[in-house]
């Protein structure tokens, strides 16, 4: 694994999945002073009081999406579409 000229590293997919590091997950780097650098999930306690959890961001997104695209059809109209207009 290499560090790019911009200081970026790709975390392998199997490690992201195993650790739950999904897109938009906040992370921090911890240096032990002896040459060891660790990547850890950020916590609100580390000065990120306004940081939202992944669940909070998901609920917020779903609420925005629901308001942006209100369904203006009756149940019967939706059922007719799913049944091919029968």
SS3 readout for 10-59? CCCHHHHHHHCCCCCCCEEEEECCCCCEEEEECCHHHCCCCCCCHHHHHH
| Rounded average pLDDT over 64-85 | 76
Does residue 26 contact residue 34 with C-beta atoms inside 8 Å? no
Domains, the chain, with CATH or none: 1-49 (2.10.260), 52-86 (no CATH)
* Structure token pair of residue 16: 């992201």
The model carries a pTM of 0.46
Predicted confidence band at 15 (pLDDT cuts at 50, 70, 90)?
Answer: very high
Give the pLDDT of residue 62: 79
């Amino acid at each position: 694994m290499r560090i790019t000229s911009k200081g970026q590293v790709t975390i392998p997919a199997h490690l992201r999945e195993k650790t739950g590091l999904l897109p938009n997950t906040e992370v921090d780097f911890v240096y032990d002073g002896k040459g060891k650098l660790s990547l850890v999930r950020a916590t609100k306690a580390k000065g990120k009081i306004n940081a939202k959890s992944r669940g909070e961001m998901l609920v917020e997104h779903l609420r925005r999406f629901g308001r942006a695209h209100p369904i203006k059809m009756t149940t019967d109209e939706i059922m007719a579409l799913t049944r091919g207009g029968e």
